[in-house]
Structure 1
């Protein structure tokens, strides 16, 4: 009752500044043809080319969000980035390692720990090891850049589809601090705080940031009355900056964060409780001889379903810490930078595989550790990833026609995973290891001609060694030496592999200034993602040697043209990009039957192609009115995949011949043809110290299918989400009242079909927090 009283009595506000607000103290030097603006939109400085450059001068399709934009759109978690970037979608699972970041229709469709993501995530110049690490709280962030298309020349081979560059707030040159608390009607509360100050008058200082977040969840397990999909997360980050002798600056940073869920689940979206036999449709289905009809008592399948019946609540647990050191030495003509980092990430989970509370093991003893408690089928599998990186960069700082960046990069990462499934059905018990050592040299050069033409070129040479190892610990795989060798049992030969590859990628672009603050560009770039071992269930020596493994490297060639413009006295900005990218040997996971159970196997999809148009616009016609919009048309297709596995339950009439189908010409999963975001902010100054603000945001996407193999039941219709906030600011204090998903539009963030378990189609959906309407209040202060 107290929470509702607080919400009802609050005068609200979510303070918002223009989307194109200026990062404090980061304004670049203006050229004679681009005079500094006095009104309208401010400039954003980005590091998309590893050099601080005005966003409008970079011949790259990049969406940049300042701290003001992040606040106005309430981007507090990584999944919220889809509100600002029209070409970005996310596919989510109950286990973060199975999530996928998708840009222009291209994402990572793989479960193996040996496969790097297609979209790189970089936090303060350090790439994360596993993409799952990115699905964390975004706290005290200064800027987020979403770079679309291959970015491998400067950001590494795991940026074959794009990169997301996150820059946290730097040390302040004076005492400053901030804090906020948020409470929501769906059982959530969050607190954030930061403080920064100088240590001397030479630019040295520190910054400390911390957060705590707790949410009760959105799915009810009616078996035990517990809420699932809950989340508790916390973190702390510290930065120290030392200025030594005026030329050398040392940055030291460390952070620790964790998150925990007491239960995870996907809800039933569709189920067919009849089977097809010789006498036609009959009651069913059955799981290991047990009728599962009673498992749906009290459940109404559909997009709005938020209840399940499970005897294993499941859980997830994630902890990570990192250390980094950055040295910057001013050589006068250039800056020499060294970045060293170490990161350690641990993740564990348990999942109810059968998704019921029935004794489907036919009386087998319920297992309580590590995959229970449950009378059904469960799995679990802890991950552990570590990484050491070292990067050295020489970046020019002169104002002449030539600018450049030269660098070298080293990374050594290791990931291991244990996996257990049982206790009596579709058994699995294995350990896998994946190691990667990368050495790379890269360079980028820009040259400005007197004709206001800029020619840019970048290249990267990458040498990589990958290592994969697998041990099957099931008793059935360790009976005789012959069986051991054939199934990668304990001490088997041929289940430990290494592969080395050297590849060069490049990018060339030409940009032409047509008028002050109006320019066009065209570019050609290549991308690459290296060889990978398919370290997952079903591993045999064939995945190490021969035609089955390692999975071949993925290559891409991207073509792009664009327009970047400011006009109407710098009050309107319009950026347009057209793109066409071809992928060869794209790496993707698909299902197949092995030993009577569905297993996931990594494949090389023959060819993919993604093409489309992206538009981003901002306007500030007056000081009190701000608009921003982005839209994307994306046509992402499988050009050639003639030997794709059939989807679960696919018949010959539906194109399945000898367990194989032709997916050539099909759309890629979770890639909407159309997606757009609209936003507006209205400020009203009440007096010299007070301001009221109204913020409205709407995002819409067209229909999609979540299945690479084309299961028609994993289809989601078009939908739109409307968010609103209204509030009040006075001096150093702010209060905001907001509503997410005001129209209560239900949608899924991921889907799966349990046909392999039940023999009939049961579509399970992942429902995110934003798939339901909720309101909240946020109170904040700063000094």
Structure 2
């Protein structure tokens, strides 16, 4: 999907575009210069503000409806979410690991990927750039970038507002006011409020979990300081709170002893629960909570030099996140008679965890971007970023003890440049490069009293005063991209490109930290991407067809997996040896007549682990499962051979990456018709389908989500300044999960829990919008 049902102007007055029947021209900044979507040699999905409204894309997670190559893994805690493009995402709990997909909001990259999972209020355009984008968008864009552009202030006074309510008790309000303050200053103030009741029942208390209450304000001020200087100021604040989170039981294996936790039978907590797709109930004695707030400030100054624009972007952002969660997932006394070692972080008869995050970052970018329509265009710039994140974590009070404090800091310096040159043969040669110098540092302090009993114990376990649990690493690397595009006919071109990507070294800051993690940070991730593409518009600008074929190789891919140390489950960051993702993407849109608009996108993605020979066995994987004791291969668990001493391992080479559907497609159709001389009616139908996925890097077959499809319907009536919409989401009530996990290590039997998004059940609603 690359457009929206809006009209477009065209240079030729005889084309349908000039008479309101063609496809809109969409301007994107995928190359950090304003360019027509169809002219840039980049695989990019541009989702316009009109499409966001028409398809009711109001949350970041809704973007999967419009971009076939995009999937999201959403957990009970937003820092554990993952944005995945072409099968590549970041699967890590450590605060020291940057995502593989960068998120940029109004020219500013977010510090933590969790910040992206916010309301999509008052957005002008979203660009989903697929494949490595590191040369222009930074090192944490090794798999792609999502560029979000909010609406600018308008000189004409404009007031918009909308209110909606749904059958699953979601109530939302959005509003914006824009206009001139003085002759040289315009401003836009927007805000939203959303209150959702939740969709999982806590049978212990009777309350609903996975609820959400959020609100935010955004002020954007444009100052025309002179005929050459324009300044854009941005300030935004948002806050989101959940009373509790949940992961209901989807599968429970038959067992003679039944599930248990620390020897305590979980049978009482199975009363009234039928594991399966329709289970939206749990027992928890600690419903927990999450609290997420962020503040973003930025200033963008553009000075017209005549031959080019000199642009400065300065930003500061602050993100705070806190949570509490029930680890054992029961309301039973699972601690037994063991002594309480740490202060309770929840009900003392269970296992609970909590801990705040705090991230802040200052960035400064200075770039020079060419102007005009000559054969040569270019951009060159410098970038500086200084970010720091702290996290405290407590788990207890008796079992699976943890109590630590961690810090991760990143300082980045970069220089980048890109240029395009168009030959008389309508051939355009493009090249870009970036040199990035990065310094990372970490500090970890284990606060458990048992770890601080002696100096020797403190040194060995990163206790207070341990000198070998603070690290520092510096790395300098270059990335580049070259491409050639050829115009075959007016509005038809093809391109080929080669690009490299990079994601820096990282410290694995999480429970289970030891001095070895300081001495051996996780190595940098590198990628090389090859892409062929076709971009075309035809049928008098009524149809568009874009095709991209890609192949990307990754070395030292950074990913997380679970392992048991003793009886406690820890998350370990790995360098998976080699990955390869390849596939084909097709995007099309057609406006056959003025009142109809059709969109479609399709992606075939084969995201494979090429080499991961000593992966841990997944939880509950039986010894030599799938083969003889001396055999090696995918799905076979046995003692490590080369090197020895790693315990039971498996060879994951050839496995599919987590949450990477081989097939995914989106379809959308909008039709409009005059109901009378003053009223216009509309109907929008969207359908999204994806093939099955597995959520476990280590390949647990029980963590598999079957193929599913979602059908949404919206009916609208617009009269004057008002529009009324009626909608139904997930019309056929199709169940699906955004992540799944096997609790074998905790419960003694295979027991799969899943996170169920709001859209996994059918709901309807009504929305009233006004614009003046």
TM-score by length of 2: 0.95
- Structure 1 residues 415 and 67: CA distance shift in structure 2, 3 A: same
Distance 2:533 2:749 in 1: 48
- Which stretches of structure 1, 4 residues or longer, exceed 3 Å deviation after superposition? 20-23, 29-32, 34-39, 363-370
Q: Deviations over 1:717-757 (max 9, x none)?
A: 11000000112000110000000000000000001111111
Contact in 1 for aligned 2:2/2:587 (Cα 8 Å): no
Find the counterpart in structure 2 of residue 7 from structure 1. none
Map 1:703-722 to 2 at 5 A: 703-722=692-711
Q: Does 1:480 align with 2:454?
A: yes
- Deviation at residue 40 of structure 1 after TM alignment: 1.2
1:418-440 per-position Cα deviation (integer Å, ceiling 9, x unaligned): 00000000100000100000000
Superposed counterparts of 1:268-347, under 5 Å: 268-272=249-253, 274=255, 282-347=256-321
Q: What is the alpha-carbon distance in structure 2 between the residues aligned to residue 232 and residue 342 of structure 1? A: 25
Q: Does 1:238 align with 2:219?
A: yes
Q: CA deviation at 1:653?
A: 3.1
Question: What residue in structure 2 maps to residue 729 of structure 1?
Answer: 718
More displaced, 704-713 or 754-763? 754-763
Q: Which runs of 5+ in 1 are unaligned?
A: 1-15, 275-281
Give me the whole-angstrom Cα distance separating, in 1, the residues matched to 2:211 and 2:298.
31
Partner of 2:645: none
Q: Indicate which of 350, 358, 367 corresponds to 1:376.
A: 350
Q: Answer yes or no: is the 8 Å Cα contact 1:20–1:66 preserved in 2.
A: no
Judging changes above 3 Å, is the alpha-carbon distance between structure 1 residues 17 and 377 closer, same or farther for their aligned structure 2 residues?
Answer: closer
Give the alignment of 1:58-77 within 5 angstroms.
58-77=40-59
In structure 2, relative to structure 1, the CA distance for the partners of 1:31 and 1:439 (3 Å cut) is farther
Task: Identify if the C-alpha distance between structure 1 residues 365 and 193 changes in structure 2 by more than 3 Å, giving closer, same or farther.
Answer: farther
SS in 1 for 2:591: strand
Q: How big is the alpha-carbon RMSD for the aligned residues of Structure 1 and Structure 2?
A: 1.8
**CA contact 1:17–1:72 (8 Å) conserved in 2:** no
* Shift in alpha-carbon separation, 1:499–1:30, aligned structure 2, 3 A: farther
In the alignment, structure 1 residue 216 sits paired with structure 2 residue 211: no
Does 1:104 find its partner at 2:86? yes
Aligned partners of 2:442 and 2:471 also within 8 Å: yes
- Note if 1:205 corresponds to 2:190: no
Q: CA deviation at 1:59?
A: 0.4
Residue by residue over 1:566-610, the C-alpha shift from the partner in whole angstroms, topping out at 9 and shown as x without a partner, is: 001110000000000000000001111223211111110000000
1:688 deviates by 4.2
Distance 1:63 1:369, change over 3 A: farther
Partners of 2:128 and 2:108 lie apart in 1 by: 15
Could you say which residue in structure 2 is the equivalent of 1:225? 206
Which position in structure 2 is the counterpart of 1:11?
Answer: none
Sort the Cα spacing of 1:437 and 1:741 in 2 relative to 1 into closer, same or farther, 3 A: same
Q: Distance in 2 between matches of 1:346 and 1:30?
A: 49
Contact kept, 8 Å, 1:316 with 1:347, in 2: the verdict is yes
- Contact 1:152–1:527 (CA under 8 A) maintained in structure 2: yes
Contact 2:92/2:560, CA 8 A, preserved across alignment: yes
- 8 Å Cα contact 2:2-2:46 kept in structure 1: no
| Residue 754 of structure 2 is aligned to residue 772 of structure 1 | no
What's the offset of the Cα at 1:618?
Answer: 0.1
Decide whether aligned partners of structure 1 residues 366 and 698 sit closer, same or farther in structure 2, where only a CA change above 3 A counts: farther
In structure 2, what is the Cα distance between the partners aligned to 1:405 and 1:247?
19
Q: Could you tell me which residue of structure 1 aligns to residue 657 of structure 2?
A: 668
1:516 to 472, 490, 512: 490
In 1, Cα distance between equivalents of 2:242 and 2:602:
35
Report the more deviating stretch, 749-758 or 736-745. Answer: 749-758
Is the CA contact (8 Å cut-off) linking 2:342 and 2:396 kept in structure 1?
no
Match of 2:685 among 696, 706, 723: 696
Q: Among 501, 504, 507, which residue is 2:481 paired with?
A: 507
CA deviations on 1:473-516 (whole Å, 9 max, x unpaired) are 01111111111111100000110000000000000000000000
Deviation per residue, 1:132-181 (Å, 9 max, x gap):
00001010000000000000000000000000000000010110010000
Residues 418/370 of structure 1: CA separation in 2 closer, same or farther (3 Å cut): farther
Residue 590 (str. 1) matches residue 561 (str. 2) = yes
Aligned CA distance change for structure 1 residues 271 and 697 (closer, same or farther; 3 Å): same
Identify unmatched segments of 5+ residues in structure 2: 626-635, 640-647
Give runs of aligned pairs for residues 14-53 of structure 1, distance below 5 A. Answer: 19=4, 21=6, 38=19, 39-53=21-35
> Is the Cα contact below 8 Å between 1:368 and 1:374 reproduced in 2?
no
Indicate the residue corresponding to 1:254 in structure 2. Answer: 235
- Aligned 8 A contact 1:22 1:44 in 2: no
Q: Which residue of 1 aligns with 2:127?
A: 145
Q: Report SS of the residue matched to 1:105.
A: coil
Go from structure 1 to structure 2 and tell me whether the alpha carbon gap of 1:37 and 1:637 turns closer, same or farther (over 3 Å shift).
farther
Give the TM-score taking structure 1 as reference length. 0.94
**Aligned pair in 2 of structure 1 residues 424, 484: CA closer, same or farther (>3 Å)?**
same
* Aligned residues of 1:365 and 1:375 also touching (Cα < 8 A): no
Give the whole-Å Cα distance in 1 for the aligned partners of 2:194 and 2:445. Answer: 38
Shift of 1:288: 1.4
Hey, what's the Cα distance between the residues in 2 that align with 1:484 and 1:771?
48
**Residues 621-636 of structure 1: matches in 2 within 5 Å?**
621-636=592-607
Structure 1 residue 371, shift from structure 2 partner: 2.2
**Residue-by-residue CA offset, 1:334-360 (whole Å, 9 max, x unaligned):** 111100000000001111100001000
Structure 1 stretch displaced more, 687-696 or 390-399? 687-696
Q: 1:618 to 1:254 in 2, by over 3 A?
A: same
Give me the whole-angstrom Cα distance separating, in 1, the residues matched to 2:296 and 2:433.
29
- Partner residue in 2 for 1:619: 590
1:566 matches 2:537? yes
Per-residue CA distance 1:258-298 (angstroms, 9 max, x = gap): 00000100100011252xxxxxxx22232112111111111
Is the 1:273–1:293 Cα contact (8 Å) retained in structure 2? Answer: no
Secondary structure of 2:638's counterpart equals coil
Alignment CA distance shift 1:514-1:336 (3 Å): same
Alignment: residue pair count = 752
1:677 aligns with 2:666: yes
Q: 1:123 aligns with which of 86, 96, 105?
A: 105
Query: C-alpha separation between the residues in 1 aligned to 2:190 and 2:687?
Result: 31
Deviates more, 1:686-695 or 1:168-177: 686-695
Residue 22 of structure 1: how far off its partner (Å): 6.3
Q: 1:30 to 1:439 in 2, by over 3 A?
A: farther
**How far 1:442 moved relative to its partner?**
0.4
1:278 equivalent in structure 2: none
- Give the CA deviation at 1:563: 0.3
Is 1:81 paired with 2:63? yes
CA distance in 1: counterparts of 2:12 and 2:412, whole angstroms: 39
Superposed displacement of residue 370, structure 1? 6.5
Say whether residues 1:489 and 2:463 are aligned partners.
Answer: yes
CA contact (8 A) 2:17 2:24 kept: no
Cα deviation, residue 200, structure 1: 2.9
Larger relative contact order (Cα-Cα within 8 Å, sequence gap ≥ 6): 1
**Residues 366 and 179 (structure 1 numbering): CA distance in 2 closer, same or farther, change over 3 Å?**
farther
CA distance in structure 1 between the partners assigned to 2:2 and 2:43 by the alignment: 23
Q: Which position in structure 2 is the counterpart of 1:159?
A: 141
CA distance, structure 2, for counterparts of residue 31 and residue 609 of structure 1: 45
